[in-house]
Amino acid sequence: MTSLRPHVFLLVLALIGAATEAAGVENAAVDADGKKTYIFRVDHLAKPSIFLTHADWYASSAFSGGGADPLPLLHVYDTVFHGFSASLTQTRAAALASHPNVLAVFEDRVRPLDTTRSPQFLGLRNQVGLWSDSDYGSDVIVGVLDTGIWPERRSFSDRNLGPVPSRWRGACETGPGFQASLCNLKLIGARFFSKGHDAAFAAGGGGINETVESRSPRDSDGHGTHTASTAAGRHAFDASMAGYATGIAKGVAPKARIASYKVCWKGAGCLDSDILAGFDRAVADGVDVISVSIGGGDGMASPYYLDPIAIGSYGAVSRGVFVASSAGNDGPGSMSVTNLAPWLTTVGAGTIDRSFPADIVLGDGRRLSGVSLYSGKPLANSMYQLVYPGKTGGLSPALCMDNSLDPKMVAGKIVICERGSTPRVAKGLVVKDAGGIGMILANTASNGEGLVGDAHVLPACAVGSIEGEVIKAYATSAAAPTATIHFKGTVVGVRPAPVLASFSGRGPNGLTPSVLKPDLIAPGVNILAAWTGATGPTGLDSDDRRTEFNILSGTSMACPHVSGAAALLRSAHPNWSPAAIRSAMMTTASVSNNLRQPVTDEITGRPATPLDFGAGHLNLGRAMDPGLVYDLTEKDYVAFLCAIGYDPKTIQVITHAPAACPSKKPAMEDLNYPSISMTFDAVSASSNQSRTVRRTATNVGASAGAVYRSKVEMPAGQGLQIAVKPSKLVFTAGARQQSFAVTVTAARTAAPEVMGDARYGYLVWSDGAHQVRSPIVVSWMQPL
């Protein structure tokens, strides 16, 4: 960066000042003497030897110019930046700009908080790393199978984008409220699929309600708009949800193109036939990435040949299209993960370092912490009567279900409601309709301490189960219980983060335990992204508020983070297969939080395991250069389907092509996956057991002659012995692939007392520059 000469520096200040005044935004604090804070970048190598430190030099008259007063230094920078900050008049700052050793001067501007903060939390930085190397995902096409899109949002602006990629074969379908002109260089395609929906509901008269739902790509629900902008939304300044998370909203791949496929309909969900049609069309249209934030239906895992997402995604992956899917919101129970096919990338949810705290103050002075996105008129400072309808009213009033509250009991009071059975925001509406003035939404034991913010229709705060029990005990024992709620806005820099979300679907894989699911986790709690103009932030019919952005939580929010990440990696590495892209994300994932401690589980507070979060938390600061990848082809997937016992005709349902299984049945565990999961016989747990799996690593690093050495990391007391042969992999220009075997021996004392629990460790390959990490999970199961 060049230094600013005095006249140039003054011109810059004048322009900044004019722009600031025009925008009505305060750029820098100005004190009573007309001073502002400036940051000076100094050539630190020019320090005269007479000064012991740079601070001594900056504070001296030799630096500030003869008889001038010493500089009022605020900060001295000497690590990543060399120079200082000081509060000065504009005249003196301009004079210092002419100093021969001052390289640049910056006005200390008040910057807004990041809104969709998750890209930065994932390790993405402007002008460097994966964002820069991928040109922000430019020209990669992300297909979003969801509830459609609200195209007018700033997140879908096509400003400064180039022509639509020539390979694009899609269309912009029209319908009520959706003209072809709404598509642009950003939203390059939009389609809707309703035939399955129409057929399913025709007999019962429950078809599309065209008074609230457009028979077009337009999103009347909000979910699709939110996920699309999370994956690939453009930068939108001054974004917020009613004042929460104010700042700059942006997707993970801001310059990627979006194609919207409306396969889900408001109030009726997503029909399998429409989902498959969406997959089919998206691949034919030419998308590079497909994002599917759609769950597994009734909570039961269907065989792969009966699962439309598994089938549709196989067709996509076999043609080079990366597919990300959500892991489901049925955690924290074991085997709650959905979307289990090994060609899918299955994404669980974690927190980021941002929260929306609210405090509950009880009449006895105790203060308890919760979260809230309530944005209306706050409660006055006075205390209000507190009531818990579940004390004598039974389950329905405790859950604040429709028509369950007696207005005589709750009018003018803060009401304690328990989570469960009905939507969280709907409970607040029940309280409001009964005359309640506020609500405390308490987790039950099954929810633990996991909290998500909601844009409630009345003053309300969510608390964990421990705090909930404290509040309920007070409400039922005090003679005249009272409380109030204080809303504290947006807080960033929360520690620890990430934390595995309590609702995130957990393993093991209920269909094929040899494939560890979920694959990894990504930000999925309190994520701000674009929103529909057809409904309020709660999604309730009675909520007449409208907002450009909304804050939602779920694995649906985590999935598009990985879809956007795949777009960046595809742009940076156009020759990588979907499996290679997934491998890069998994083997570089973080298993530590921002306290440099193990990622914990929100439900227990204890360290999470690979059964909970797969390979760890997405870390895009490292994924662009993973060193090694575990690649997979159609042949590998067919061998896997043969290994699980599917016959050729069943396999053809998935692969769309005839398949012939080898005479010797392959081993499921040998699928060349970035994680390793193996099961032992629970009946034979009284004796030592051993199993060997094989993997092949491909060197994608810059050095063709890399040498990788193995290391096994394992918590103490696992009772496992893990051997890797060979323990060293030598790659050359002519040998980019090397195979190895991992043998796990479990002592008879290793088997856990509780069936379904597991032991785990990590295999790490390192060449000194890369750390290629794979989780190893060992579980014991009853034989079929």
Catalytic residue positions? 146, 223, 556
Tell me the two tokens of residue 157: 């602006």
Q: How far is CA 187 from CA 131, 205, 387, in A?
A: 20, 33, 50
Q: Is 363 helix (H, G, I), strand (E, B) or coil?
A: coil
One-character DSSP codes across 72-116: -EEEEEESSSEEEEEEE-HHHHHHHHTSTTEEEEEE---PPPBSS
Yes or no: say if 388 and 411 are a contact pair by the CB < 8 Å rule: no
Q: Which residues pair with 552 in a beta bridge?
A: 527
Q: What is the dihedral of CA 132, 138, 141, 143, to 10 degrees?
A: 60
How long, in residues, is the chain? 784
Yes or no: say if 655 and 636 are a contact pair by the CB < 8 Å rule: no
Cα–Cα distance, 617 to 161 (Å, whole number): 31
* Beta-strand relationship, 141-146 and 102-107: unpaired
**Residue recorded with tokens 């980019």:** 736
**Burial of 780 by CB count in 10 Å (0-12 exposed, 13-18 middle, 19+ buried)?**
buried
Cα–Cα distance, 312 to 304 (Å, whole number): 10
Cα–Cα distance, 588 to 622 (Å, whole number): 6
Q: Is 356 helix (H, G, I), strand (E, B) or coil?
A: coil
Q: Which residues pair with 371 in a beta bridge?
A: 357, 462
**Burial of 430 by CB count in 10 Å (0-12 exposed, 13-18 middle, 19+ buried)?**
buried
Residue type at 292? V
Report phi then psi at 316, rounded to 5: -70, -50
Q: What is the dihedral of CA 584, 702, 568, 611, to 10 degrees?
A: 10
CA atoms within a 13 Å half-sphere pointing along the CA-CB vector of 259: 28
* Beta-strand relationship, 689-699 and 384-387: unpaired
Yes or no: say if 85 and 35 are a contact pair by the CB < 8 Å rule: no
Report phi then psi at 634, rounded to 5: -55, -40
Yes or no: say if 177 and 149 are a contact pair by the CB < 8 Å rule: no
Cα–Cα distance, 426 to 454 (Å, whole number): 11
Tell me the two tokens of residue 71: 């500089």
Tell me the two tokens of residue 362: 């009880």
Cα–Cα distance, 122 to 563 (Å, whole number): 13
Give every CB contact of residue 410 below 8 A, 6+ residues apart in sequence: 387, 389, 431, 434, 435, 436
**Residue recorded with tokens 């709660």:** 538
Nearest to 498 by CA among 390, 572, 607: 607
Tell me the H-state helices in 319-443: 395-398, 407-410, 424-433
Residue type at 589? A
Yes or no: say if 113 and 490 are a contact pair by the CB < 8 Å rule: yes
Q: Is 21 helix (H, G, I), strand (E, B) or coil?
A: helix
Yes or no: say if 409 and 386 are a contact pair by the CB < 8 Å rule: no
Cα–Cα distance, 287 to 281 (Å, whole number): 9
Cα–Cα distance, 17 to 27 (Å, whole number): 8
